[in-house]
Each structure stands twice: as structure tokens, then as C-alpha cells.
Amino acid sequence: MTAFDYRDGELAAEGVALASIAARHGTPCFVYSRAAIEEAFRTFDHAFAGVPHMVCYAMKANSNLAIVNLLARLGCGFDIVSGGELARAIAAGADPARIVFSGVGKTDAEMARALELGICCFNLESASELEHLNRVAGSLGKRAPISFRVNPDVDPKTHRYISTGLKENKFGIAIGDALSLYRRAAGLPHVAVRGIDMHIGSQITALEPHCEAASKAFELVDRLSAEGIALEHIDLGGGIGIRYRDEETIAPTDYAAAIRALLGERSLKLLFEPGRMLVGNAGVLLTRVLYLKPGAERNFAIVDAAMNDLLRPALYDAWHEVCAVAPRSGPPAVWQIVGPVCESADFLAHDRVLDLAEGDLLAILSAGAYAMAMSSNYNSRPRAAELVVDGKTTHLVRLREAVEELFAHENLLP
């Protein structure tokens, strides 16, 4: 399914013209397709039909309540990395028993709240965290379900900032230390060993790193079983890449076939933590051209969206396709698509061949993941509105911030 396509010469989201959304709600704004999110979830979930499994959406990709609620209605679980994401998940109707809590720096207060709610599992990332959780659970008279996030030292062949499974990364415990930590956990009174967790990075476009990491995880499962430490589940994380430009990506059916083969006859429930692949290509960032600034060296198209709305290009030098909402038929030029923020890193796209005029609408594609979630108020810019299109209906799911809200919690000195 193509959620965003041209109809009568103008780009639309499902059955709604993007120009009409911009006219009503202003720019910049994020527009998501409900059908695209649902299709992405069902495609991944159905790939594992017949195998006990749970898909836990990685909320860090996009934590808008409407999107979280939509996935909860589909039976999705959730992967969280903070107390704030836990609160959002609950507010959106998530079942606590379908939540796994990842992250290297959980606070005691976050642990306590998750224990009170009865989450599925804590993915622990250090020996110290194990001791903290055992103590917190004991103070509440509870037993915390745990797995250890194991670092398999596998190169995911992705950007170094989103690589999480190499030994130099801060995430997880070294696979060589895992056995002793599982032995330690098995003897503690206030934790219950439930599984093993692994996540090696994001935007991974090759199947081999996933298989290499999963093989190491299954080998550890067998070693633990031989010592009498039986696990209930294995969490293989997320990280399957999407197509931003011309990447060869991993089909969920191929990924599922590979994991099923590695699972073999082991009686383990499979957990997964996809984020980007569920929402990344289900969203666009709408922006309007403010000024055209031709130059001797470069031509700049200054738009009303900026790095505070979409950080990925500045942070990762990420590539997003840029489409004119109503394409013109004149001679194109090569443009640098830049925003109003006072940083040379404030660009959304380099060297795009477009026929542009001031006032034109542009759609920055593949902006459903790590866009609004990473946005900020830098330069005292209000964060954008968010909308979900459902067929021919548009729902405003986040109001645009007012400037006054940005300093509502600040005080002058006496």
C-alpha cells in the first residue's frame, strides 16, 4: 500500500490532499497514515503466525498517544526506555503485562512504578542495575521479572550513532559475563529470571547481523538451560531498516523464516521491539517554502520547518526524500532545503532537483519515526502539530504549541 501518492496532480495522504491539511492546520506539521501503521504491524505480526510471540513497539520512535493507542488496539505490546514512556503507554491504554522496560539508566522511582503496574519484564543492562532492582522490589514486597540485555559484539553495519551491539557501545552486558550474572540473579530473592534480551542497532538493512546475534543468544539459552536456568522468552529486539531512498531492506517474511530456523525446537516465546519499521514510512513532515535564495555556489530554499522539527539530517546526515505537494512543470534547479534555525547544520536535504517558488508546499517523506519524538524548542520554536489521516478523515492528535507555552514554567528573578 502507498499511503502517500499523487491524486489529480497533488500529493495526498490516503484520501486527503496534503494541501488541504496545510491550509487548515498550518505548517510545519506531521501527517501520519493510520492504514500504513496498521499494515506495517500486521505484516510483521503475521510473519510469525503459529509461533508464540509478542510484538512490542519501541515507543522511542514515535510516542504520540494516538499512535500508541492505535497499536494497543491491534494487540501490540510496548518497549519503553523511561518512566515518561511508561506513563504515556498507560495513558494510551496499553496493557502493563505487555510492556518491557529497556534502557541503561532506570531510576529507582521508575523501577518502583513499573513494579506497581505489573509490567512483563525488565531488560537489565548491568550488574549494578540488578542489585538496584532486587532492592527496590524487596522494599515493595514484590519479585521483579527480568532478562539481561546481552551485548553480542556484532557489527550491524549501520550508522555508528545507532549501533548498539558492539563491545564499545554502552548497551547491555558483555556476552562473556552473562552466565555469571544469570547465576547471580537466580539466587536473588526479589527477581525472577524470565528471559534474555538482545538489540544490536537501528536501520539495519542486512539479515546477516540479525542472524549472527540471534545465534549467539540461542547458544546462551542452551548454556543456561544446561545449568538449570530455564528461560520463558527470548527478546530479539528490533532494528529492521526501512527504505528512505534506494536501500535494500529486509522482508518480514524472510526475517521470520530465519528466526524460526534458529529457534528450532526450543520452547521459547519470541519477543520483538520494532519501532521505525512500524511508523517510519507512515508519516511525512509538511513544510512551506518561505524564501528562495539563489547564489553563485548554492541555491537555498528556506522553509518553515527546521532541525528542531527533524533532527535526523543534522545528527546522522540522514537522507529524506523531498516531494513538491503540487509539482511545477518549469525548469528545475538544484536546491539546499534549509530551515530558519541559526545553525549551519540546520538543513533538511542537500542538492535536491526541484522547480520551486516561494509559498510552495513540500513533503519530507519517511518522517514517522525519530522526527517528532526527537524535536525540540531550539530557538524558542513551538513544536509542530500532528495529524492522523484515516481514509478521508483527518484527526488532529497534537495541537501546535503556542509560544507562550514555551516559557510558562519559567520565573523571573526577584
Q: What distance, in Å, lies between the first and last C-alpha atoms of the chain? A: 59
Q: How many domains does the chain have?
A: 2
pLDDT of residue 176: 87
Which CATH number goes with the domain that contains 354?
2.40.37.10
Range of the domain at 353: 4-32+280-406
Query: Are 25 and 64 in a shared domain?
Result: no
Residue 175 near residue 153 (C-beta atoms within 8 A): yes
Query: Are 176 and 40 in a shared domain?
Result: yes
Query: Are 105 and 189 in a shared domain?
Result: yes
Residue 266 near residue 231 (C-beta atoms within 8 A): no
Give dist(CA 132, CA 140) in Å, integer: 13
Q: Is 190 exposed, middle or buried (0-12, 13-18, 19+ CB in 10 A)?
A: middle
Answer yes or no: 342 catalytic. Answer: yes
Residue 205 near residue 247 (C-beta atoms within 8 A): yes
Residue 305 near residue 348 (C-beta atoms within 8 A): yes
pLDDT digits (tens, 9 = 90+) for 399-410: 999 999 999 999
Query: Are 271 and 294 in a shared domain?
Result: no
Tell which residue, 26, 6, 37, has the closest CA to residue 388. Answer: 37
Give dist(CA 40, CA 134) in Å, integer: 37
Query: Are 38 and 146 in a shared domain?
Result: yes
Which one is catalytic: 120, 211, 323, 342? 342
The pTM of this model reads: 0.94
pLDDT confidence band for 165 (50 / 70 / 90) = very low
Give whole-number Cα distances, 324 to 12, 18, 250, 355, 379, in Å. Answer: 11, 11, 29, 8, 27
pLDDT digits (tens, 9 = 90+) for 337-384: 999 999 999 999 999 999 999 999 999 999 999 999 999 999 999 999
H/E element, 81: none
* Mean predicted confidence (pLDDT) in 8-13: 97
pLDDT digits (tens, 9 = 90+) for 286-314: 999 999 999 989 999 999 999 999 999 99
The one-character DSSP state at 216 is: H
Domain finish residue from 278, 307, 325 = 278
Whether the pLDDT of residue 247 is over 60: the answer is yes
